[in-house]
Amino acid sequence: MKVLVLDTSAFIMGFNPTRPGEVYTVPAVEDELLRGTMTQLRFHVNKEKGKVIIKTPSLRALESVETVSAKAGEKGHVSQADREVVALALDLKQDGQDPVIVSDDYAVQNMAEHLHLSYGSLANFGIAHKFDWIMYCPACHRRFTGPEKTCRVCGTELKRKVLSRSRVSRTKV
């Protein structure tokens, strides 16, 4: 069964679930919504009506997402909520459902692509390429794989660049 997994951007863009029981999100998304805004109100109304199910992802799925985000160079560039949304989609897929992540965040879409998860966006066209990123030092040219901000050798602020890219071959939802 096709189910939606919403990240914060879906709520910000005004996504309004219409059918109960088929839309999920994670507790960290609620924490990212600004207090007292229409977005937060819409979230709470949908939660109270049962149109959005709040679910915490498994530790196993979170570990898989951490591994993939580190390998893809997204670690340190995605929020806790983003990682949890992708992990929840992994759990739902493992449970035999067909999750679609709804996110306008390119990093979330990139992680979903790396994990062979379906995704869609509301306000942009979505990614055209799957990227692997690397952190590098523009002064001494060393490469780093972690989410570090400064070079361990010379102290220069690190930059991020594409290490490899491949065309998205699957059809996005």
Cβ contact 86:28 at 8 Å: no
pLDDT tens digits for range 14-45:
888 876 568 999 999 999 998 888 889 889 99
How far is it, in rounded angstroms, from Cα 100 to Cα 22? 11
Superfamily of domain 2-124: 5'-nuclease (3.40.50.1010)
Segments making up each domain of the chain, as ranges: 2-124, 130-167
Instruction: Give CA 98 to chain center in angstroms.
Output: 17
DSSP state of 19: S
Instruction: Give CA 153 to chain center in angstroms.
Output: 31
Q: pTM of this prediction?
A: 0.75
pLDDT tens digits for range 98-139:
999 999 888 898 889 889 999 988 876 666 667 677 787 889
Number of Cα atoms under 13 Å in the Cβ half of residue 90: 25
